[in-house]
Amino acid sequence: MKLNTLFAFALAATVSAAPLHEPREQPHNQKNDQYEYRPVTKLDEGTLQVTDNDDPPKHTPHVYESKNWSGAVLKNQPEERYIYTSVRGRFTVPSVQYHGSHHKDESAAIWIGIDGFPDGTSMLQAGVSITVPEKGPVKYEIGVEWYPEPLQKLSYFPIHAGDVISIDIVANTSTTGTIIVDNESRGELARIPMQAPAKEPGENYWLMGQSVEWIVEDFQHPLANFSEVVFYNASAETSFYETVTLSEADVIILKPRQSESLSQVSIDSDSQLTVRYRG
């Protein structure tokens, strides 16, 4: 298996990174108009599905609406002292075709990440971006990002529709991390050291370890018809060295403006969820 290494970001100044296994004070909740919380009972029938199987979720998921995200999120509570230190999952890259009549490129992104919910101040993520032109071939690209730095595409990393991609993200400290991307179908693996971008000299965008996500994103309207994306082997680890599964996850549905939701989310088991296109 080929190993590629890439240094993604450099700090403008040397800082002392706080270890992520030391719990930090939780910030006050911040209002963000990108997310709107509402109880699951208020959803239209069929928007959320919890599959009846031998390994059902152990709680009733809360449902959030987003203008650009759809998937599942695990989040800690203010009274809980642990934080998330890693997240992982696998998915198959979908085959996407142009389906609109708007004469614009369509797009979708599939990614896994730490933090970003609900305020999005800082986030460490990796995944696949898909661009579907009206004419010409569909472009599939692997990218890594420590938001608010822009996405860094791994141009050397081969990827095609039908490939099985495994992603493992580890927050070594609040300002350093490691992303491992494995194209299991083609025997290609990249290990990318990451550093937090600087706000100003001596200050960085810290990870807080408050949430982990498995997301399909409409990153550049209009949204491509991705059919469905199944995340499996999904799990996270906490600062207490415990493995956390989707049994405690909440869901996010994609609903731009006041229009009908464009996605349907099902939590299939403790380690699998499915995001379906509804456009």
pLDDT: which is higher, 263 or 119: 263
Q: In this structure, is residue 193 part of a structural domain?
A: yes
Selection from 201, 162, 161, 193 nearest residue 177 by Cα: 193
Rounded to the nearest integer, the mean pLDDT of the chain is 80
Instruction: Specify the pLDDT at position 77.
Output: 72
Selection from 148, 206, 146, 201 nearest residue 14 by Cα: 201
- For the chain, the straight-line distance linking the first and the last C-alpha, in angstroms and rounded, comes to 39
**Confidence grade of residue 58 (pLDDT, cut at 50, 70, 90):** low
Identify the CATH number of the domain in which residue 160 sits: 2.60.120.700
Q: In this structure, is residue 250 part of a structural domain?
A: yes
Out of 120-124, 157-161, 253-257, the most confident range is 157-161
Q: What average pLDDT score do residues 139-152 get?
A: 95
Q: In this structure, is residue 104 part of a structural domain?
A: yes
**Number of domains composing the chain:** 1
Q: In this structure, is residue 55 part of a structural domain?
A: yes
Instruction: Specify the pLDDT at position 55.
Output: 52
Distance CA 159, CA 45 (A): 36
Element (H, E) at 191: strand 188-195
Do residues 33 and 65 lie in contact, with contact meaning Cβ atoms separated by under 8 Å? no
Q: In this structure, is residue 255 part of a structural domain?
A: yes
- What DSSP character marks residue 88? E
Q: In this structure, is residue 20 part of a structural domain?
A: no
Does the pLDDT value for residue 40 go beyond 50? no
Instruction: Specify the pLDDT at position 78.
Output: 66
Q: Which residues contact 160 (CB under 8 A, 6 or more apart)?
A: 93, 140
Q: In this structure, is residue 17 part of a structural domain?
A: no
Q: In this structure, is residue 205 part of a structural domain?
A: yes
Instruction: Specify the pLDDT at position 13.
Output: 25
Instruction: Specify the pLDDT at position 95.
Output: 94
Instruction: Specify the pLDDT at position 121.
Output: 86
Q: Which domain holds residue 143?
A: 2-12+34-277
DSSP 254-270: E--TTSPPSEEEEEEET
pLDDT: which is higher, 279 or 93: 93
- Phi (first) and psi of residue 88, to 5 degrees: -150, 165
Instruction: Specify the pLDDT at position 104.
Output: 86
Does the pLDDT value for residue 26 go beyond 50? no
Over residues 163-205, the pLDDT tens digits come to 999 999 999 999 999 999 999 999 999 999 999 999 887 788 8
For the chain, give the number of residues: 279
Do residues 255 and 261 lie in contact, with contact meaning Cβ atoms separated by under 8 Å? yes
Q: In this prediction, what percent of the chain has a pLDDT beyond 90?
A: 62
Does the pLDDT value for residue 62 go beyond 80? yes
Distance CA 175, CA 107 (A): 30
DSSP 18-58: PBTTS--PPPPP---TTEEEE-GGGSPTTSEEE--SSS--S
Do residues 158 and 182 lie in contact, with contact meaning Cβ atoms separated by under 8 Å? no
Residue 217 appears among annotated catalytic residues: yes
Of the candidates 106, 188, 213, 217, the residue annotated as catalytic is 217
Over residues 221-252, the pLDDT tens digits come to 789 999 999 999 999 999 999 999 999 999 99
